[in-house]
Amino acid sequence: MVDEIEFYRNRTRRSEHLYKEASDITPLGVGSNFRYFEPYPFFVQRGRGSKIWDADGNEYIDFAMCFGALNIGHSHPLLVKELREELESGTMYTLPHEETAKLSKEIIRRFPVEMVRYCNSGAEATMHAIRLARGYSGKDKIVKIEGCYHGCHDALLVSIKPPKDSGDPRFPYPIPSSTGIPKETLSNTIVAPFNDLAAMEAIFKKHPNEIGGLIMEPVPMNMGIVLPEEGYLQSIRDLTIEYNIPLIFDEIKTGVKIAPGGACEYYGIEPDIITFGKSVGGGIPLAGFAGKEEIMEHVRPGGVAHMGTYNANPLAIRAGYVTLTKILTEKAYDHMSRLGEKLINGYNEIIADSGIIARIQSAGPMGAILFTDDEVKDYRGFLRCDKDLWFKYWIAMLNREVIPLPLGHDEQWTISVQHDEEDVQRHLEAFKEVAWTLKLGA
């Protein structure tokens, strides 16, 4: 491992210089805590198609794709052309414009929703979604799933990477995942395990007439990829109807990725509210929340507040409309699924041949490598994965000019429309070499 770190340093000398310069004037030298890693992050110069180039001129095949935000790839030529045209007309109006309705109709076509509102990030979308659920229900408490990340705001930045003492697996403690979160905030956040219907029902029974909403990733993607057990999501849907609790599907990661209509389509579930973001904007900041008319109509003066100077700006709306109607077509999904299957099958073969302790869990074309013997069904199972081995794998893949997935063993790879067979083959060749290196303990 020492050799891999030293190799990394030797090939990223300019990045090291830029990092030292940046760290003097900004915490960790990066714009988001997730972007930092030891010994220092490499600095990117440009991206195009399936590749990015760092400040030292190294080329990488990118399967991280900005934490999954770019399943159209880097600088898609069609989107670049359309955005150039939009720039000529203006980037902001803070007044309505025609294309907002066009994008909303496409969102409604893909998802089981009736009305849409826009914002600029996934964190904003989930913040507004839980406020809407509370405003509609008239109740204060929100239930979230242990280990799921819903953005960096106080009410939901809870029980992510908790300490060892996290309480009963069926009734986890609501542990803040940052300093600066008031204790009073946690009093209205209840944490539940994933894939445990009985635990969820027990929570609902314990807090009658108090729960204003349940927010969940239908496929948790901040613990690699964890699949819902058969029937689990439909049973959750039935349970929330029985207890009159609004169900929010956080589709920031799954939306328009695992299927054109996200997890709603993939699993055939109709939640009350959804959030969307990341890949919907094609790399331009765009997110939103949508739902049934009877719920969404509470967004109004004197009702649920939703404001924002940058909301539904014409540049972001154009990006979203072009992405969904002209790039992420049926043909594009066929392409991504085919490459995703090839990558997943290749990983499984290499794991079996090398004998390393690892498994692949996937949804649609997205996949994640988890260094464990056991299927990961919830956050506690994910915490038992070998994080140190994951980092050795990750830094070794970087040295072979493949970014296999975003930094953090809790992430997954993204296949974009601009990846091709050669990209997947090079990824697998790099992993084959790395897998045997890990097996031999190098």
Judge if 91 and 131 occupy the same domain. yes
Quote the DSSP letter at residue 28: G
Read off the pLDDT band of 440 (50, 70, 90). confident
For this structure, is 278 an active site residue? yes
- Out of 54, 62, 196, 250, the active site residue is 250
- Is residue 442 over pLDDT 60? no
What is the mean pLDDT of the segment spanning 233-245? 98
* pLDDT value, residue 168: 87
- Is residue 347 over pLDDT 90? yes
- Is residue 441 over pLDDT 80? no
- Helices 421-439 and 330-354, axial angle in degrees (round to 10): 20
Judge if 215 and 92 occupy the same domain. yes
Count of structural domains, the chain: 2
Residue 359's CB is within 10 A of a number of other CB atoms, namely 18
| Domain finish residue from 286, 304, 327 | 327
Judge if 94 and 40 occupy the same domain. no
Token digits of residue 99 = 């294309």
What is the mean pLDDT of the segment spanning 67-72? 94
Range of the domain at 269: 78-327
For this structure, is 149 an active site residue? yes
Q: pLDDT tens across 349-407, in order?
A: 999 999 999 999 999 999 999 999 999 999 999 999 999 999 999 999 999 999 999 98
Judge if 291 and 423 occupy the same domain. no
Q: pLDDT tens across 404-419, in order?
A: 999 877 889 999 999 9
Separation between Cα atoms, residue 370 and residue 376, nearest integer Å:
8
Judge if 59 and 88 occupy the same domain. no
- pLDDT > 90 in the chain, percent: 90
Read off the pLDDT band of 71 (50, 70, 90). very high
What is the mean pLDDT of the segment spanning 231-252? 98
C-alpha distances in Å from residue 377, one per residue of 73, 162, 232, 288, 365: 30, 17, 12, 28, 19
Contact of 285 with 264, CB cutoff 8 Å: no
Q: pLDDT tens across 256-265, in order?
A: 999 999 999 9
Judge if 113 and 215 occupy the same domain. yes
What is the mean pLDDT of the segment spanning 341-353? 97
What is the mean pLDDT of the segment spanning 235-250? 98
Nearest alpha carbon to residue 251 among 150, 377, 347, 365? 150
For this structure, is 250 an active site residue? yes
- Out of 40, 136, 149, 347, the active site residue is 149
Judge if 132 and 222 occupy the same domain. yes
Tell me: cis bond preceding 39? Omega within 30 of 0 counts: yes
| Domain finish residue from 291, 307, 327 | 327
Judge if 269 and 340 occupy the same domain. no
Read off the pLDDT band of 315 (50, 70, 90). very high
Token digits of residue 250 = 């956080």
Residues in the chain: 442
Judge if 308 and 337 occupy the same domain. no
| Domain finish residue from 327, 355, 376 | 327
Q: Longest Cα pair distance anywhere in the chain, in angstroms?
A: 65
- Is residue 88 over pLDDT 80? yes
Judge if 215 and 281 occupy the same domain. yes
Where residue 147 sits, what CATH number does that domain have?
Answer: 3.40.640.10
Separation between Cα atoms, residue 257 and residue 68, nearest integer Å:
9
Full-model pTM: 0.96
- pLDDT > 70 in the chain, percent: 99
* pLDDT value, residue 365: 92
- Out of 139, 141, 257, 278, the active site residue is 278
Separation between Cα atoms, residue 120 and residue 148, nearest integer Å:
20
User: Chain-wide mean pLDDT for the chain?
Assistant: 95
Find the angle CA(217)-CA(220)-CA(226) to the nearest 5 degrees: 145
* pLDDT value, residue 401: 97
Judge if 56 and 150 occupy the same domain. no
Judge if 188 and 287 occupy the same domain. yes
